[in-house]
Structure 1
């Protein structure tokens, strides 16, 4: 596997940045939960949303890569789109208050990737059963 680790590594660095943003805001006195701090809540959700979607999509991408039937250009397209989607969404939630473009397109692309990678894996699984 050579393609998935490229995007997993880049996404890990983005996750670290989102994690740091939460820890940085917690330095203002809230050690658990959000304490009613709207800035902290946004940062927590940016971090949490990343943690909710990225691992599954990376796992699906890795399964597609290890099977060998998915062309490398498609794997790169999926990985790059995931990175773009999570950058847009992460910036929108953790770094800004109302960047609707980033939040909308980050979410839309993430959902599209979840659908496409899910369908591709399902197709591979069904095709393997029929052989």
Structure 2
């Protein structure tokens, strides 16, 4: 396995770990409040569900971008993967923390979304450059 694929494996693993942790936090809230389906109007459970949902909405496409970057075979592929992976993972962590701590707008949620979007823009530019150039 080359350096780019090792880098991709790191970021895929960390993002999967984040999804697992967020899933466990939903389960914990469900058990605490004895709610099997939905959120029963409980704010903490609703926040946990949305933190997981938001992560599962953004992480899969980001991981696809990371894997494509790793497979390009360019000399800088590992660096590109690490930049994209760091931006995606840190953005998702910061967003999840912000959403878990506040149902409304928050600085952490804003920074988390911005980092996620920057990772997407970076991956869009890098993959298109590699495809065209």
After TM superposition, the score normalised by the length of structure 1 is: 0.87
RMSD: 1.6
Which residue matches 2:92? 86
Counterpart in the other structure of 2:23: 19
**Unmatched tracts of structure 2, length 5 or more:** none
1:63: how far off?
A: 0.4
Distance 2:81 2:19 in 1: 21
Task: Give every structure 1 segment of 4 or more consecutive aligned residues whose post-TM-superposition deviation is greater than 4 Å.
Answer: none
C-alpha deviations, 1:58-116, integer Å up to 9, x for none? 1111101111126122321211121211110111112x126822111100010111122
1:104 aligns with 2:110: yes
Instruction: Report matched runs for 1:109-120 at 5 Å.
Output: 109-120=115-126
Answer whether contact 2:88 2:119 (CA < 8 A) is retained: yes
| Distance 1:70-1:78 versus aligned 2 partners, 3 A rule | farther
Partner of 1:55: 60
Does the CA-based 8 Å contact 2:90-2:112 persist in structure 1? Answer: yes
**Number of residue pairs aligned between Structure 1 and Structure 2:** 126
Q: Distance in 1 between matches of 2:105 and 2:14?
A: 23
8 Å CA contact 2:69–2:80 kept in 1: the answer is no
Find the aligned partners of 2:107 and 2:74 in 1 and give their Cα distance: 35
* 2:59 alignment partner, SS class: helix
State the secondary structure of the residue aligned to 2:90.
helix
SS at match of 1:88: helix
